[in-house]
Amino acid sequence: MPRDSRYDPLFEPIQLGPVTAPNRFYQVPHCSGMGYQRPQMMAAMRGVKAEGGWGVVCTEYCSIHASSDDSPYQSASLRDADDISNLRLMTDAVHAEGALAGVELWYGGFTTPNLYSREVSMDVASLANESTQGVPVQSQAMTLDDIQAFRQMHRDAAKRALDAGFDIVYVYGNHGYLLHNFLNPYFNQRDDEYGGVAENRVRLLREVIEDVSEIVSGRAAVAVRYSIPPQFDIDPQGLIECFGYLAELPDLWDITVNDYHLEMGSSRFIKEAANQEAIAGLRALTGKPIVSVGRFTSPDTMLSQIVSGTQDMIGAARPSIADPFLPRKIEQGRLEDIRECIGCNVCYAHNSLGVPIRCTQNPTMGEEWRRGWHPERTEARHADQSVLVVGSGPAGLEAACALGQRGYRVILAEAEQELGGRINRESRLPGLAEYARVRDWRLGQLQRMVNVDIYPDNRLDVDAIAELACEHVIIATGASWRSDGVGRWRNSAFAGCDSDQVIGVEQILRGKLPEGRVVIYDDDHYYLGSAIALLASASGCQVALVSPSDSLAEWSHNTEEHRPVMRALIEAGVEFVTAKGLVGFDLGKVQLECVYSGQSSQLAADQLIPISSRVADDALWIALDQHRSELLQHGLVSLQRIGDCRAPGIIAAAVYAGHKAARELGSRQSEVKRDRVLT
């Protein structure tokens, strides 16, 4: 199907200095958790995006010197000949699909602890390290000789970038790294020609842009990543004034806002194109092309940015992860096939953990090279056989979808009337509405598959499954939240867990609203505790949120949600209690124990909502497993359980489990290749 002509502006080529991008889709530099240690993985992942129609595909931040070492996080690297060979894998993969390849030269400054290299970071001043590890070291205040050495680092790296085949070379001027800190008067209190007034503070960034431009002249475009205030007319750092001294220097501006919690905000708090009003304010200040991100998922929103002139290219990180083929689907008129990012930031979380990124919506992300998975293609069915999938949560929906794509005859049975499992319940909580896209995209795909039959409101037992006589049976019946407090902190039920005033998570998720004074005990540490706390507060309850951890919603640090979560809880008037474990509940009192001292304390509560761990709903699988020999005699070939039914986890893990089961049906397990650094 040809594309709707309305979207033609998205497919117009654009000149970027000496190179031409084939369209307006631009995968901005984003972390991958692959970097220099996993060059094949990184190259394959970026190459798939180019195949999917992204006209420009960039690296993640790319270290140009050993004193810019962000270990244990995996950055790319461009320091020597081996790095050139590694990165050539990526540029070759991107060029093979007709796209441009960009590299983001990076020097972290006081944010990098250099745990691996053991080098000393340089910065505008001697600043206390601000890495997440909180290493008690400081950066070296740069002398004028250091500044000249820093400029030479960029010149040398730019030469290596050309040798590696890059078409766009970045100068990195934001996100609190060294060049940004020179712009910021809060950090830059120098009294030489690089400090003081804006013209001086911008001097080093201008010199580096000029240096890189001289090296790559005529062979590659120069892009500058730069941040501006979220409110264009409130500029305490003088970033807009500094921009005026640079406005026409590079070939492309990659503009963000200088609040990472807004730029990288999860969908719980930040919606699509939330920062574009600020970006629009910059348009009149430069004649050079602008690219910016906005977690764009809607083709119409993308089009509006181009037509209005707000930006010249559609920047994307997370949407390109959720659907590497997003541009191709718009071009082919397949809008209904776009896998929209849900803004959960699971991709970012795993980079934060020092491992390759993954995606809730796209289970193939990170497996393009290691397992050979492609986001749009799967191996055809191995035989003319049928598959029964029991359960339509994220694992069951993904399994049925991928099996249908492979060409199997699929029966999807769901005990409830509504398909979606945990997605239905969790997406109704405050801020989590976009999580429903996990369900909706898969249902949309399944409804167009003539080889898939869907049966809601059908609770199957062993006899019913035997009667269906499918060769393969996949059980994806999910899991249920415990209400006895068994979890990380304790391995036995708390006293009083059977009280009528103990409200289980499952009751809340199915619509029961708490009342009065409510204590929520969160030993899960992710989004559920804060979401239920906000629900209870909005219902008029007096809420206390208790955790045995030192901080609330601790795992949300990884997804860059912790700060907005805390802000929302504070604004809702939620009381915080940390480092306290749940011991008991009796007569309107929640009994707590300090996790360090063992000291007892109490909280008054009319109701208690414990959130700890889940129990797999695996009774059907156990019953089938007990009758496996009989079922085999009646034609059963394989029986397996997947997702939360096997091991409760996050939604992304359930989707991955469903996809893996479908990929591997009828074949040996996917080979997991081990990446290596080229020499």
Residue 128 is classified by DSSP as: B
What pLDDT was estimated at residue 466? Answer: 95
pTM of model > 0.85: yes
What is the strand order of the sheet 409-413 is part of? 452-455, 409-413, 386-390, 472-475, 638-641
d(CA 47, CA 98) in angstroms, rounded, equals 10
Domain boundary residue, one of 614, 633, 656: 614
SS3 content of the chain, % helix, strand, coil (to 5): 35, 20, 45
Question: Phi/psi class of residue 573: alpha, beta or left (left: φ > 0; alpha: ψ in -120 to 50)?
Answer: left
Q: How far apart are CA 587 and CA 593, in angstroms?
A: 17
Tokens of 606: 């009319």
How large is the average pLDDT for residues 644-667? 97
Closest to 16 in 3D by CA, of 51, 55, 60: 55
Helix 651-664 vs helix 394-406: angle between axes, to the nearest 10 degrees? 30
The per-residue pLDDT for 260 is 85
Question: Among the residues of 510-615, which ranges form H helices?
Answer: 527-538, 562-571
What's the token pair of residue 248? 């026409």
Name the band, by pLDDT with cuts 50, 70 and 90, for residue 482. very high
633 and 580 fall within a common domain? no
Exposure on the CB side of residue 621, measured as CA atoms within 13 A: 23
Do 526 and 434 lie in one domain? The reply is no
Cα 531 to chain centroid, rounded: 19
> With pLDDT > 90 as the criterion, what percentage of the chain qualifies?
94
Q: Which residues pair with 546 in a beta bridge?
A: 521, 577
Shared domain for 599 and 471, answered yes or no, is no
Question: What pLDDT was estimated at residue 261?
Answer: 84
Residues 6+ apart with CB under 8 A from 20: 13, 14
Is residue 374 domain-resident? no
CATH number at residue 653: 3.40.50.720
pLDDT at 674 over 80: no
Same domain? For 202 and 238 the reply is: yes
What are the CA-CA distances from residue 200 to residues 87, 149, 189, 237, 409 (Å)? 35, 19, 11, 13, 69
Domain termination site, one of 302, 326, 352: 352
- CA-wise closest residue to 408 among 477, 472, 337: 472
Please name the helix (run of DSSP H) or strand (run of DSSP E) that holds residue 58, with its range, or none.
strand 56-63
Q: Among 231, 122, 142, 261, which residue's Cα sits nearest to residue 194?
A: 142
Lowest-confidence range among 4-13, 233-242, 521-530, 568-577?
A: 233-242
Q: pLDDT over 70 for what percent of the chain? A: 99
Task: Specify whether 230 is located in the same domain as 323.
Answer: yes
Is residue 670 over pLDDT 60? no
Average pLDDT, stretch 451-471?
A: 96
Rounded to whole angstroms, the Cα distance separating 408 from 402 reads: 9
Name which of 116-120, 510-514, 548-552, 673-677 the model is least confident about. 673-677
Same domain, 468 and 498: no
Identified catalytic residue from 7, 26, 170, 177: 177
**pLDDT for the residue numbered 678:** 53
Whether residue 376 lies inside any domain: the answer is: no
pLDDT at 133: 81
Average pLDDT over every residue of 413-434: 98
CATH number, domain of 150, equals: 3.20.20.70
What is the number of other CB atoms lying within 10 angstroms of the CB of residue 2?
A: 7
In Å, the largest CA–CA distance within the chain is 85
Domain boundary among the residues 614, 629, 648 is at: 614
Q: What is the pLDDT of residues 255-286, one digit of tens each?
A: 999 988 888 899 999 999 998 999 999 999 99
Query: Residue 9, Cβ neighbours under 10 Å: how many?
Result: 14
Sequence-distant (6+) residues with CB within 8 A of 645 are 391, 395, 475, 476, 477, 478, 479, 616, 617, 618, 621
Binning pLDDT at 50, 70 and 90, where does residue 673 land?
confident
Q: Is pLDDT above 70 for 668?
A: no
Please classify residue 285 by burial: count the beta carbons closer than 10 Å to its beta carbon, then call 0-12 exposed, 13-18 middle and 19+ buried. Answer: middle
DSSP 8-state assignment for residue 372: -
- The answer to whether the Cα torsion of 42, 43, 48, 53 is positive or negative is positive
CA-CA distance, 457 to 381, in Å (whole number)?
28
Summarize the confidence of residues 68-94 as an average pLDDT. Answer: 95
**Interhelix angle for 81-95 vs 144-163, to 10°?**
50
Pairwise CA distance, residues 129 & 259, whole Å: 19
Residue 65, domain member (yes or no): yes
Spatial contact of 64 and 109, defined as CB atoms under 8 Å apart:
no
The whole-angstrom separation of Cα 660 and Cα 669 is 9
Angle at 268 between CA 350 and CA 225, to 5 degrees: 60
DSSP 487: S
Residue 82 lies in a domain: yes
Q: Are residues 609 and 658 in the same domain?
A: no
Q: Check whether 679 has a pLDDT greater than 50.
A: no
Within 8 A by CB and 6+ apart from 226, the residues are 173, 174, 239, 243, 246, 253, 254, 255, 256
Which amino acid is present at 361?
Q
Q: Does 368 score more than 50 pLDDT?
A: yes
Query: Is residue 596 annotated as a catalytic residue, yes or no?
Result: no
Q: Structural domain tally of the chain? A: 3
Alpha helices in 96-173 (DSSP H): 144-163
| Helix H or strand E encompassing 59 | strand 56-63
Determine the structural domain holding residue 549 and report its residue range.
481-614
Distance CA 653, CA 425 (A): 18
CA–CA dist 438, 535 (Å, integer): 22
First CA to last CA distance, the chain: 46
- Among 346-355, 445-454, 510-519, name the one with the lowest average pLDDT: 346-355
pLDDT of residue 514: 96
pLDDT at 677 over 90: no
Question: What does the block give as tokens for 626?
Answer: 């007990």
199 band by pLDDT with thresholds 50, 70 and 90: very high
Beta pairing, strands 479-481 & 409-413: unpaired
Query: Is pLDDT at 83 greater than 90 in this prediction?
Result: yes
Q: Which phi and psi (to 5°) does residue 79 adopt?
A: -115, -25
Q: Express each pLDDT in 87-136 by its tens digit.
A: 999 999 999 999 999 999 999 999 999 999 999 999 999 999 988 788 99
Query: Which pLDDT value is given to residue 676?
Result: 63
DSSP 3-state assignment of 256? strand
How does residue 443 score in pLDDT terms, banded at 50, 70 and 90?
very high
What per-residue confidence (pLDDT) applies to 67? 97
Residue 114 lies inside a defined structural domain of this protein:
yes
Instruction: Evaluate if residue 669 carries a pLDDT over 70.
Output: no
Contact of 268 with 566, CB cutoff 8 Å: no
DSSP 8-state symbol, 37: G
Instruction: Check whether residue 430 and residue 567 sit in a common domain.
Output: no
- On whether residue 163 sits in a domain, the answer given is yes
Pair (298, 391) in one structural domain: no
Cα dihedral 506, 509, 511, 516 sign:
positive
> Domain check: are 18 and 152 in the same one?
yes
Locate 164 and state its tokens.
């590696």
- Same domain for 18 and 80, yes or no, is yes
Q: Which amino acid is residue 147, in one-letter code?
A: I
Is the pLDDT assigned to residue 481 strictly greater than 80? yes
What does the pLDDT read at residue 348?
94
Q: Which residues contact 547 (CB under 8 A, 6 or more apart)?
A: 521, 522, 523, 525, 529, 553, 554, 577, 578, 579, 580
Backbone angles phi, psi at 445, to 5 degrees: -70, -45
CA distance linking residue 109 with residue 118, whole number of Å: 14
Helices 81-95 and 39-51: crossing angle, nearest 10°?
Answer: 20
The confidence score (pLDDT) of residue 74 equals: 86
Instruction: Report strand pairing: 168-172 vs 100-106.
Output: parallel
> Could you give the CA distance from residue 56 to residue 40 in angstroms, rounded to a whole number?
19
Question: For tokens 């899991």, what's the residue?
Answer: 479
Structure tokens at 115: 């745990």
Tell me, yes or no, whether 593 lies in a domain: yes
107, 241: one domain: yes
Looking at the domain assignment, is residue 357 inside a domain?
no
Give per-residue burial for 407-419: e unless 16+ CB within 10 Å, then b.
Answer: ebbbbbbbbeeeb
CATH label of the domain that carries residue 592: 3.50.50.60
